């Protein structure tokens, strides 16, 4: 399944990308305006320079005693010059020019006003009724350089603003979604049996109806499950007394009956009543597992609890249960002792009932809180193994059973927020079946 995208990430990147594109669009628009204004300013400077130089050139030319070659106006000091000009008469004879004016610049005759060549912007004006002309030129590269520098001046701040805006947008979105994130965490940390309302303050208006709908659904589900658990527990409890009385009467009848079909029939009825009694006990255990109260207020040491249950089974069962405990003194978890006893008894009963009778059941606990219960016997098919923790599902063994043992174990494991793994063949073996439960370790209680 494809993982869902983070709303915070999508909003942060989307808003930042949108603002960046808007800024780029604004920057390009501002640069076009600046470029237009720069061209106007440069054209005005060309025109103003020509109108200032031309009267002075006319006076200087008019004061000459005789015609001479074109006069080069020397520069006062060396510096980078962007403007070059020349003054000519109507026949094209050059009368005056700047010291760096090149004939290539003014190779093409120009009319009055502005014109362009491949590399220069030209302006031409006349005086004395069209007998004296001035042509002034500016390199287009100068204008392009000015426009480029203006563009860089607009873009460089944007490079710094993009990460700042990304950080600011991310912080703003995170603060805005703080209540939504709190709601998500409140849902994530809940156990499978916690159906109480989820309360988070100041949810956004778009999420608040959804939260209310979820709380209504949880309330309906809680009532339905409580009704089911109450019915299961009450039914099992109410059946216990009449079943015990009926079983006692059947046992008495079996002992009083003479040898023959009547005693055989009484024996079968007794066996059926015992199975029904065990089913009633399993239903009560399932109701307790689903009803909560699986966690203890103080951490419990699993080692003495495990040793006690295994010792009890070794005394009551004709088969041997091998127990392996960690070398350390204690393994503390938050499970309730009664819930742990129900869990372990169901796992051992399942292993004894469906395992090979000529091989012992192996029970072990590690210092990391890993509980293993393994038995020998034929391997369980994968298709059956995946459904063994469902209610009333049994393996292919001919042994009788209710099919609730592993379902009860799974309910308790989920209720204490542990994890359960089924494996067949058992790890390290060619056959058998193993249940492994990883508990979360709790800190050692002080004192």
Per residue in 142-162, pLDDT (tens digit) is: 888 888 888 888 888 878 888
Paired tokens of 327: 């070398």
Contacts of 161 (CB under 8 A, 6+ apart): 23
Average pLDDT, stretch 235-254? 75
Average pLDDT, stretch 86-108? 77
Average pLDDT, stretch 189-196? 67
Average pLDDT, stretch 172-200? 78
Strand ranges, E, within 271-388: 295-301, 321-324, 332-335, 361-365, 370-375
Do 255 and 404 sit in the same domain of this protein?
no
Q: ∠ CA(400), CA(402), CA(405), 5° rounding?
A: 110
Which CATH number characterizes residue 367's domain? 3.30.565.10
Do 135 and 243 sit in the same domain of this protein?
no
Pick the range with the lowest mean pLDDT from 35-49, 66-80, 224-238, 382-396.
66-80
pLDDT, residue 4, reads: 67
Domain limits at 261? 188-292
Helices 140-176 and 178-188 pack at an angle, to 10 degrees, of: 50
pLDDT, residue 259, reads: 82
Residue 304 resides in a domain? yes
Using the structure block, give the residue that is written with the tokens 């003479």.
Answer: 258
- Kind plus residue range of the DSSP H or E element containing 127: strand 120-127
Residue 113 resides in a domain? yes
Residue 129 resides in a domain? yes
pLDDT, residue 436, reads: 93
Do 150 and 202 sit in the same domain of this protein?
no
Which CATH number characterizes residue 92's domain? 3.30.450
Do 15 and 141 sit in the same domain of this protein?
yes
Do 224 and 360 sit in the same domain of this protein?
no
Residue 322: name the closest of 313, 335, 333 by CA: 313
Number of separate helices (H) and strands (E) present in the chain: 9, 13
Distance CA 251, CA 271 (A): 10
Q: Give the up-direction half-sphere exposure of residue 202: CA atoms within 13 A in the CB hemisphere.
A: 5
Residue 329 resides in a domain? yes
Residue 179 resides in a domain? no
Coil/strand/helix, residue 352: helix
Of 128, 163, 198, which residue sits at a domain end?
163
Coil/strand/helix, residue 130: coil
Contacts of 408 (CB under 8 A, 6+ apart): 282, 285, 286, 289, 342, 343, 346
Query: Which of residues 374 and 192 earns the better pLDDT score?
Result: 374
Do 274 and 323 sit in the same domain of this protein?
no
pLDDT, residue 438, reads: 93
Do 119 and 19 sit in the same domain of this protein?
yes
Residue 174 resides in a domain? no
Q: How confident is the model at residue 66 (pLDDT cuts 50, 70, 90)?
A: low
Q: How many domains is the chain built from?
A: 3
CA 243 from chain centre, in angstroms, equals 55
pLDDT, residue 2, reads: 60
From edge to edge, which strands make up the β-sheet containing 321-324? Answer: 321-324, 361-365, 370-375, 433-438, 419-423
pLDDT, residue 70, reads: 56
Q: What is the DSSP letter of 67?
A: -
CA 143 from chain centre, in angstroms, equals 51
């Amino acid at each position: 399944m494809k993982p869902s995208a983070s709303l915070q990430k999508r909003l942060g990147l989307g808003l930042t990308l949108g603002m960046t594109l808007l800024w780029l669009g604004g920057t390009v628009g501002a640069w076009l305006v600046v470029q237009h204004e720069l061209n106007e300013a440069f054209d005005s400077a060309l025109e103003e320079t020509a109108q200032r130089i031309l009267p002075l050139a006319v006076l200087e030319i008019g004061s000459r005693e005789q015609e001479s070659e074109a006069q080069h106006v020397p520069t006062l000091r060396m510096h980078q010059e962007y403007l070059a000009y020349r003054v000519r008469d109507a026949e094209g004879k050059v009368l005056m020019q700047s010291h760096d004016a090149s004939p290539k610049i003014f190779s093409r005759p120009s009319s009055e006003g502005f014109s362009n060549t491949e590399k220069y912007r030209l302006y031409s004006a006349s005086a004395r009724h069209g007998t004296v002309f001035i042509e002034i030129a500016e390199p287009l590269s100068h204008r392009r350089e000015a426009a480029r520098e203006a563009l860089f001046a607009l873009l460089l701040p944007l490079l710094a603003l993009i990460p700042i805006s990304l950080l600011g947008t991310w912080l703003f979105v995170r603060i805005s979604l703080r209540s939504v994130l709190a709601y998500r965490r409140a849902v994530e940390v809940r156990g499978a049996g916690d159906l109480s309302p989820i309360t988070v303050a100041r949810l956004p208006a778009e999420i608040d109806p959804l939260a209310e709908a979820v709380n209504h659904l949880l309330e309906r589900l809680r009532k339905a499950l409580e009704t089911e658990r109450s019915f299961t527990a009450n039914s099992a409890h109410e059946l216990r007394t009449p079943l015990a009385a009926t079983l006692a009467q059947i046992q008495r009848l079996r002992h009083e009956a003479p040898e023959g079909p009547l005693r055989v029939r009484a024996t079968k009825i007794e066996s059926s009543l015992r199975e029904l009694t065990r089913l009633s006990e399993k239903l009560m255990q399932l109701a307790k597992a689903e009803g909560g109260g699986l966690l203890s207020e103080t951490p419990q040491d699993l080692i003495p609890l495990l040793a006690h249950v295994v010792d009890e089974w070794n005394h009551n069962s004709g088969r041997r249960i091998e127990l392996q405990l960690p070398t350390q003194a204690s393994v503390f978890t938050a499970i309730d002792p009664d819930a742990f006893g129900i869990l372990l008894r169901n796992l051992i009963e399942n292993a004894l009932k469906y395992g090979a009778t000529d091989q012992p059941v192996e029970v072990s606990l590690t210092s990391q809180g890993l509980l293993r219960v393994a038995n020998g016997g034929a391997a369980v098919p994968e298709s059956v193994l995946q459904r063994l923790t469902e209610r009333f599902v049994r393996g292919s063994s001919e042994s009788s059973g209710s099919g609730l043992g592993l379902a009860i174990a799974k309910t308790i494991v989920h209720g204490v927020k542990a994890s359960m793994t089924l494996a067949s063949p058992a790890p390290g073996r060619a056959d058998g079946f193993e249940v492994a439960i990883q508990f979360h370790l709790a800190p050692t209680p002080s004192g």
